[in-house]
Structure 1
Amino acid sequence: MLLHRIGHTAYRRRKTVLAVWLVVLAGLLACVVGLGGKLDDTFSVPGAQSQQALNTLAKTLPGASGTSAQIVYIAPSGKDVTKPPYADEIRRSLAAVAAGPQVSAVVTPQQAGTVSRDRTVAVAQVQYAMPRAQLKQSSLDAARAAALTAQRDGLQVAVGGAAFGSGGMQVGSGEVVGVLVALLVLLFTFGSMLAAGVPLLSALLGVGVGLAGLMALTPWVSVSSTAITLALMLGLAVGIDYALFILSRHRTQLATGMDPHESAAVATRTAGGAVVFAGGTVIIALAALSVIGIPFLTVMGLGAAGAVVIAVLVALTLLPALAGFAGTRLAPRPGSRAAKRSTHDGVVGNRDTLGARWTRLAIARPLLTAVVVGGALVLVALPVGDLQLGLPDNGSAAKGSGQRTAYDTISDRFGPGFNGPLLVLTDADASGTAARQSATDIAKELRALPGVVAVAPPHPTEAPGQTVIQVVPAWGPEDQRTADLVRTIRDKADAVHTDTGTRISVTGATAVNIDVSNRLRASLLPFAGIVVGLSLILMTIVFRSLVVPLKAAGGFLLSVAASLGMVVALFQWGWLADALGVANTGPVVSFLPIILIGVLFGLAMDYEVFLVSGIREEWLRSGRAKESVVNGARRNTRVVTAAALIMFTVFGGFFPADDAVIKPIAFSLAVGVAIDAFLVRMTLVPAVLALVDRRAWWLPRWLDRVLPNLDH
């Protein structure tokens, strides 16, 4: 077989294989350093009204289509920010900001009308004629430094706005702790530091190649910091897991006396085949994110899928090579617990494995187990009914940061809508006086709408008959009522065009984020339907059964729903938010459910195949349903437990990050893996199989003839 030859060759030519991977890593790192690409966290939704209008503004009024920053000046209590010495300091700092690189305009607090009623707070706006991805960090640093020069005589300055949004997730202590815990799990599983280090080393090299390759694409492809972090999370987690699967088989064979060279090849053919199957399901699910039609989600899915591809390739080539360097030292010590488990089918002394004992407990009263576990998961999933989707802004930034201080101050003193104003683009068939009068009339109508607190005078663009009107809603950018206001304005567009001959469209960062969330919300159920349908087909082909695929799909849906329910309770309702360090509660990140479905589908199918394939083998051998459930679980539960714990710790290591996007994604994946592996696959699945008994492996003859045979 191909995989056998790959394992055999990698073991024999281990120095060449290692050198190739190191050269690839070095070459990609050189490309990253030499090309100097930049990450782009801009959200866009092609075809949406907001995106089309924003593209128009980029040509006719670049200043309005670019990003902006806000500088908030806060005078001491009882002082007037518009009088000396504070007014002089503000004037000098804004002059320095205006002279900074890439700044197209500075709107003073007096020009913008953003001085609080008690005259203790003033807000200036800095406009850039390009999106945030094209801004240099040095330009942002210069603007911040110039603004902070006003911090004298008790005047406080906070710099925020879209230009100073999240700079992306930075790897910190949490991720390092996650890797160290994964190492401890490997050490406990193998009982050997050398055996524990091999999967970690191969996974780290694979992650390095994957991330360097993704970063090397940034000069030509818009890659977000979230895409990088997701690739890092998945690449590290599946990289360790896939190496764990193959190395476990290799060590078991070494314990029985098999030659190390042949053992590496056989492990690559057998466990490596399972890795290819497992990686394939994850890759398909992640690549399917591209069908939604949102560029940043497409890059995120393909980038993460690429990291999984590399993890599979590393497991099939680099791991046998590293096994070649270690030789017989990877074999369990004679007489050790690991050696006894390998040579006695998991039984050490007179005691059975914990997995077998747990399975016996689960199937002792299978109906009770199924009802209790299923009912508990349904109960945890209940908050999903209140799921609200949105995209994070600076209101989700870390407390104490300049972005969060500026956001909160503006919200408190001027109203939450000032943090996310809407832009209404008017385009009249006429020009000159008629067009200006039409825009003025439209502004009056907008001012009369419920939920509108301020409307700026129409601002003409370079295109004849075209203006931009800034509308400030009464609610924040993430509030559902703001989305309702956008829909109300758009609903009036046809009537306005009929009456005045002027076309109107709503755009701006807030409207774009709303359109992105709406697109993702509309895609959620079809995407889930495709994934569940794929799981049904896949499991039917693999296990030649109707009950097993229905059970697998139902368990997957329970895992996803329960995970989302916990996300809603923590990040939306605020349960335990302070204890777990959640800076702000509100709508759930709009692309989290789709990411969770895609990733968890692949991992759930991995665990399902790994556990149930052993049960099916026992069933075909013995024909006894309940005994086959216990005996099959005895073989594979330990490895699946280790794999799930590694996934949980790696994902959980990203949870402490102060990033409003990564934090909920890491949480959902960590709890999703734990729920699916331990409650669904190791508890609910054995109970259901024991409950239906022999009927679990029934398949109509006509369907058995139609389905292809797949050697999983």
Structure 2
Amino acid sequence: MSSFLYSVGRRAFAARKAVLALWLLVLAVAGGAAGLLNKGLDNSISIPGTESQEALDRLSVTFPQTSGASAQIVVVAPGGMRDPVVQREVERAVDELNDVPQRSQVVSPYQTDFGGAISESGQAGLIMVQLDGEIFAIGEPAKDRIVQITHELQERLPAGSQASYGGQLFSQKLPGVTVTEALGLVIAIVVLMITLGSFLAAGMPLINALVGVGISMTLIFIATAFGPITATTPLLSLMLGLAVGIDYALFIVSRHQQELAGGASAQEAAARANATAGSAVIFAGLTVMIALVGLGVAGIPFLTTMGVAAAVGVGVAVLVSVTLMPALLGFAGDRMRPRPRKRRTKPAFGERFFGGWVRAVTRFPIVTVLAVIAVLGLATVPAAGLRLALPDAGALPKDEPARVTYDLIDEHFPKGFNGPLIVTANIVTSTDPLGLMADLKAEIERLPGVADVPLATPNPTADTGIVQVVPEGEPDSAETKQLVDDIRSLRGHFKDTYGIDIAVTGFTAVGIDVSAKLGSALLPFGVVVVGLSLVLLTMVFRSIAVPIKATLGYLLSIGASLGVVKLVFQDGWLAGAFNVENTGPVISFMPIVLMGVLFGLAMDYEVFLVARMREEFVHTGDARGSINSGFVSSARVVTAAAVIMFAVFIAFVPEGDANIKPIALGLAVGVFVDAFIVRMTLVPAVLALMGDKAWWMPRRLNRVLPSFDVEGENLREELALADWPRPGADDAIACDGLRLADPSSGRSIYAGVGFFLPRRGVHVVRGGAEPAVTALLLTLSGRLKPDAGKLKVLGHVLPARAATVRSQVAYVDAGEGGAEAVRLALREEPAVLVLDRTDRVSDPGERRAIRGLLAGTGITVVAGTTGLAEVGDVLPESPWATASDLRPAGQPRTLSGAIR
């Protein structure tokens, strides 16, 4: 990866105008496509398969008058709803509402036998408007007409009276972006200027982020042509895209400045920065993307769409960062080079500050560990009482008409009128449907928590009945949830007594079911995320303890952020400071989205901080010293990245959409806690406590597990061996000091192996034991990693370029596959053919066939054997007698001929 990104960086730097023009063209084309294909956003949330949703779907067929979206108009008249003037004007408005487009039915407050409602005081009444279709299917003409009729009614009512519209149809407000969110970008620019030292350097990450966000946002609106997308989706993608786009570019620019300060040319510095920091960016981006796509584990369509859209946004940010950033660095040229500083007699402030920090937290590591766990554990305690629900009009700003209506209903009617339940029953077998519905009404009225049952009626065909139930509690209250459970618990009773099957549905019941489904998905999703983090971090750090420590730290960050969200949005702590107008349960999908996003961000900080510590430990072997030096060299950039992310997220809280506010606050708290308390305080203390054991890994696991080179160690090896064994060398294989070990025992098979094989011709590798020869041939073909030494195959350094070597070098077990295996391998036209166990081909016909296949191919052939005599008639009569006689480690090594 680092080698590939190095090449990308050099080419993008050189072709900077073309790269910039290409990305701007992509942005323009995507923007045009979005304008043509955009079908609008859908802010409704449902989960197929839940009882409430299935019942609602059935009602759309059997009782369509009750299955669509609904609206309410509340009328408050100090003189009473029975005042003749008030009643005349209200009934006139009802008549006008009957002409509204997509209207299914309108219920007057005076139709008390059919769902109409007048408050106990007689001063307030409800007009119920049932529409044909779900919220997103109701057109603007219908909404506008309801609003107009309400305003006209208000003008006609006696002085002091009030008419206000609201209900389910108006309960969702499409979110937008305000000036407040831009403050996060202002803070980001300030932090970038302080960190990078110039306005030029600070502007590049911002350009990078804006291009990436622009493309990802247009892709979301293009996707609306293919399916519904919630209005929260683009906001989440915007928030994440800005944060990671700026941070990822910051890491690359910062590394570029370090390379320039070391004396590299501008192009070489950009290429190396792209190779090293870019590798870490790709790993970090992949972790965020995998976690976001993992939201699909919950099996909830809208959440899966949200996760995929956000993952695409992060992916675009990564792609833009590793291609556009080198091009922008090309435009800057040498202007990014730090000015030479006078010889310093003492460390800079940043080095002193972070040096003092790491020394303080590692001086008494056990005290630091216990203190951090105690503080974050205490912050996590409130999370146990977190309640989840879907937002309704009560979450809107207080001056919104739907919120005004919600509050008026709450003031004059039982709280449940803002979220009535619908109990459906299959009554097709009943001989007295009206009597049956009356019996159901009577039984449900006796349940605790029921304020009123205003309607119980069969449909015109008498095969489906509905009972409208008004709870005593608010729609998102625990009492209403309990009432839903109580009604559902009577299913067996109703089946035995009346022979009917019931279901509870309605907007409120759908919200309860969605919240329950999302809550049950947290555990499996958490298992997936935690398991994924263990595997990925083990690949990066080649350690057992570091991934476990990182994962436990992530869980502390999640717990603390959920605890703070609960205190603010549910308990009202500092609610005024965050402009939280209505406290109560938080949106249902907040915890699972927070877990997914924060997982990726936490792994970012872990990689950027601890990778430097590991690098220092590998070079020095000093566990304690590597913590200090690695921390000081990376803490400055990690601090800047965390501050930028915190600023971007927190800016979405004060004026943000009600759905995104708790997610934004949770991410802001999570980033702060994870970066400064977990990664920069707890992690150094744990590593200091463990010493060398922190970097231990079983040898067998180390060999089996893939390696992810985030610090560009392979690239440095490639650059160091660029002119080895000699400038312009064109050997097929070159090795020196090669050491191979038995994977099971760790004992050396070969040590100090060194030879050079020219291109073309046939070469024989002979050893005393067959497994040892096989191990060497697998190593030469890029399929086994050497323990030490230099090795280049076809000019590619191994193991750095193992994938490239495997694509050009064919490995064949001749003893197992014979001539047919050789024939199949040659079809792929490899540059090198490695033949193992050639002395095991016993059939004379097979031996002649292999010889004929190899004759005149013009490729390099490396054959392995335990004795030269046995392969004489298998290989062509080219000067293959040049061979290396390899013996186990500790024994003399001789060459049986000159290697030509």
RMSD after superposition: 2.0
1:119 lines up with 2:122 in the alignment:
yes
Q: Tell me which residue corresponds to 1:256.
A: 262
Q: Tell me which residue corresponds to 1:700.
A: 698
Q: Tell me which residue corresponds to 1:397.
A: 396
Distance (Å, rounded) in 2 between the aligned partners of 1:484 and 1:44: 20
Distance (Å, rounded) in 2 between the aligned partners of 1:542 and 1:673: 21
1:135 lines up with 2:135 in the alignment:
no
Distance (Å, rounded) in 2 between the aligned partners of 1:199 and 1:137: 40
Q: Tell me which residue corresponds to 2:384.
A: 385
Deviation at 1:110, TM superposition (A): 1.2
1:180 lines up with 2:178 in the alignment:
no
Which of 217, 233, 252 pairs up with 1:227?
233
| Contact kept in structure 2, 1:443 and 1:458, CA below 8 Å | yes
Q: Which piece of structure 1 moves more, 46-55 or 346-355?
A: 346-355
Against the structure 1 CA distance between its residues 61 and 379, is the aligned structure 2 distance closer, same or farther, given a 3 Å change threshold? same
Deviation at 1:463, TM superposition (A): 5.3
Distance (Å, rounded) in 1 between the aligned partners of 2:620 and 2:38: 61
| Contact kept in structure 2, 1:388 and 1:587, CA below 8 Å | yes
Q: Tell me which residue corresponds to 2:747.
A: none
Amino acid at match of 1:524: L
Distance (Å, rounded) in 2 between the aligned partners of 1:189 and 1:349: 13
Q: Tell me which residue corresponds to 1:567.
A: 565
Q: Tell me which residue corresponds to 2:884.
A: none
Secondary structure of 1:467's match?
Answer: strand
Secondary structure of 2:362's match?
Answer: helix
Secondary structure of 2:351's match?
Answer: coil
Q: Tell me which residue corresponds to 2:465.
A: 467
Amino acid at match of 1:52: E
Secondary structure of 2:110's match?
Answer: helix
Distance (Å, rounded) in 2 between the aligned partners of 1:7 and 1:658: 38
Q: Which piece of structure 1 moves more, 571-580 or 511-520?
A: 571-580
Deviation at 1:285, TM superposition (A): 0.3
Distance (Å, rounded) in 2 between the aligned partners of 1:204 and 1:443: 58
Distance (Å, rounded) in 1 between the aligned partners of 2:332 and 2:224: 38
| Contact kept in structure 1, 2:428 and 2:464, CA below 8 Å | no
Deviation at 1:215, TM superposition (A): 1.0
| Contact kept in structure 2, 1:94 and 1:146, CA below 8 Å | no
Deviation at 1:450, TM superposition (A): 1.5
CA shift digits 1:502-546 (9 cap, x unpaired): 111111111111111111111112211221121122222221222
Against the structure 1 CA distance between its residues 527 and 509, is the aligned structure 2 distance closer, same or farther, given a 3 Å change threshold? same
Residues 592-611 of structure 1 aligned to structure 2 (within 5 Å): 592-611=590-609
Residues 589-668 of structure 1 aligned to structure 2 (within 5 Å): 589-668=587-666
Distance (Å, rounded) in 1 between the aligned partners of 2:558 and 2:395: 24
Distance (Å, rounded) in 2 between the aligned partners of 1:314 and 1:350: 33
Amino acid at match of 2:109: P
Secondary structure of 1:150's match?
Answer: helix
Q: For structure 1, which runs of at least 5 residues remain unmatched after alignment?
A: none
Deviation at 1:190, TM superposition (A): 0.9
Distance (Å, rounded) in 2 between the aligned partners of 1:262 and 1:661: 46
1:64 lines up with 2:70 in the alignment:
no
| Contact kept in structure 2, 1:7 and 1:269, CA below 8 Å | yes
CA shift digits 1:240-271 (9 cap, x unpaired): 11111111111222233322222222221111
| Contact kept in structure 1, 2:104 and 2:132, CA below 8 Å | yes
| Contact kept in structure 2, 1:63 and 1:130, CA below 8 Å | no
CA shift digits 1:159-204 (9 cap, x unpaired): 2111112222210021111111111111111111111111101101
Which of 471, 475, 478 pairs up with 1:477?
475
Q: Tell me which residue corresponds to 1:149.
A: 152
| Contact kept in structure 2, 1:427 and 1:502, CA below 8 Å | yes
Deviation at 1:437, TM superposition (A): 3.2
Q: Tell me which residue corresponds to 2:425.
A: 426
CA shift digits 1:64-106 (9 cap, x unpaired): 111111111222x4x2233243334333444444333333322
After TM superposition, the score normalised by the length of structure 1 is 0.95
Residues 550-565 of structure 1 aligned to structure 2 (within 5 Å): 550-565=548-563
Deviation at 1:349, TM superposition (A): 5.1
Deviation at 1:465, TM superposition (A): 1.5
Against the structure 1 CA distance between its residues 350 and 145, is the aligned structure 2 distance closer, same or farther, given a 3 Å change threshold? closer
Deviation at 1:618, TM superposition (A): 1.1
Q: Tell me which residue corresponds to 1:290.
A: 296
Deviation at 1:633, TM superposition (A): 0.5
Deviation at 1:487, TM superposition (A): 1.6
Q: Tell me which residue corresponds to 2:328.
A: 322
- Larger C-alpha radius of gyration, 1 or 2? 2
Deviation at 1:350, TM superposition (A): 8.6
Q: Which piece of structure 1 moves more, 573-582 or 214-223?
A: 573-582
| Contact kept in structure 2, 1:387 and 1:568, CA below 8 Å | yes
Amino acid at match of 1:405: V
Q: Tell me which residue corresponds to 2:808.
A: none
Against the structure 1 CA distance between its residues 175 and 138, is the aligned structure 2 distance closer, same or farther, given a 3 Å change threshold? farther
Which of 492, 499, 512 pairs up with 1:501?
499
Deviation at 1:417, TM superposition (A): 0.7
Answer 1 or 2: which has greater helix percent.
1
Q: Tell me which residue corresponds to 1:363.
A: 362
Amino acid at match of 2:51: Q
Amino acid at match of 2:87: A
1:530 lines up with 2:512 in the alignment:
no
Deviation at 1:351, TM superposition (A): 7.4
Q: Tell me which residue corresponds to 1:190.
A: 196
Q: Which of the pair has the greater relative contact order for Cα pairs under 8 Å at 6+ separation?
A: 1
Answer 1 or 2: which has greater strand percent.
2
**Identity over the aligned pairs, expressed in percent?**
47
Q: Tell me which residue corresponds to 2:783.
A: none
| Contact kept in structure 2, 1:169 and 1:657, CA below 8 Å | no
Deviation at 1:382, TM superposition (A): 1.1
Distance (Å, rounded) in 1 between the aligned partners of 2:507 and 2:354: 52
Secondary structure of 2:359's match?
Answer: helix
Distance (Å, rounded) in 2 between the aligned partners of 1:604 and 1:463: 58
Against the structure 1 CA distance between its residues 402 and 349, is the aligned structure 2 distance closer, same or farther, given a 3 Å change threshold? closer
Secondary structure of 1:123's match?
Answer: strand
| Contact kept in structure 1, 2:417 and 2:470, CA below 8 Å | yes
CA shift digits 1:179-238 (9 cap, x unpaired): 111111111111111111111011011101101110111122111111111111001100
1:492 lines up with 2:490 in the alignment:
yes
Secondary structure of 2:593's match?
Answer: helix
Against the structure 1 CA distance between its residues 64 and 113, is the aligned structure 2 distance closer, same or farther, given a 3 Å change threshold? closer
Deviation at 1:707, TM superposition (A): 2.5
Secondary structure of 2:521's match?
Answer: helix
Deviation at 1:347, TM superposition (A): 7.6
Deviation at 1:495, TM superposition (A): 3.0
Against the structure 1 CA distance between its residues 143 and 663, is the aligned structure 2 distance closer, same or farther, given a 3 Å change threshold? same
Distance (Å, rounded) in 1 between the aligned partners of 2:271 and 2:523: 43
| Contact kept in structure 2, 1:97 and 1:147, CA below 8 Å | no
Distance (Å, rounded) in 1 between the aligned partners of 2:687 and 2:73: 63
Deviation at 1:58, TM superposition (A): 1.5
Secondary structure of 1:104's match?
Answer: strand
Distance (Å, rounded) in 2 between the aligned partners of 1:216 and 1:446: 47
Distance (Å, rounded) in 1 between the aligned partners of 2:181 and 2:14: 35
Which of 38, 44, 47 pairs up with 2:46?
44
CA shift digits 1:602-634 (9 cap, x unpaired): 010110011111111111222222211110001
CA shift digits 1:398-432 (9 cap, x unpaired): 1222121111111221111111111111112415x
Deviation at 1:12, TM superposition (A): 2.2
CA shift digits 1:17-63 (9 cap, x unpaired): 22222222222222222234111111111111111111111122223
Amino acid at match of 1:446: I
After TM superposition, the score normalised by the length of structure 2 is 0.76
Amino acid at match of 1:603: L
Distance (Å, rounded) in 1 between the aligned partners of 2:140 and 2:338: 52
| Contact kept in structure 2, 1:74 and 1:157, CA below 8 Å | yes
Secondary structure of 1:453's match?
Answer: strand
Runs of 4+ in structure 1 displaced over 4 angstroms? 346-351
Amino acid at match of 1:103: R
Deviation at 1:276, TM superposition (A): 0.5
Distance (Å, rounded) in 2 between the aligned partners of 1:216 and 1:94: 40
| Contact kept in structure 1, 2:297 and 2:521, CA below 8 Å | no
| Contact kept in structure 1, 2:116 and 2:454, CA below 8 Å | no
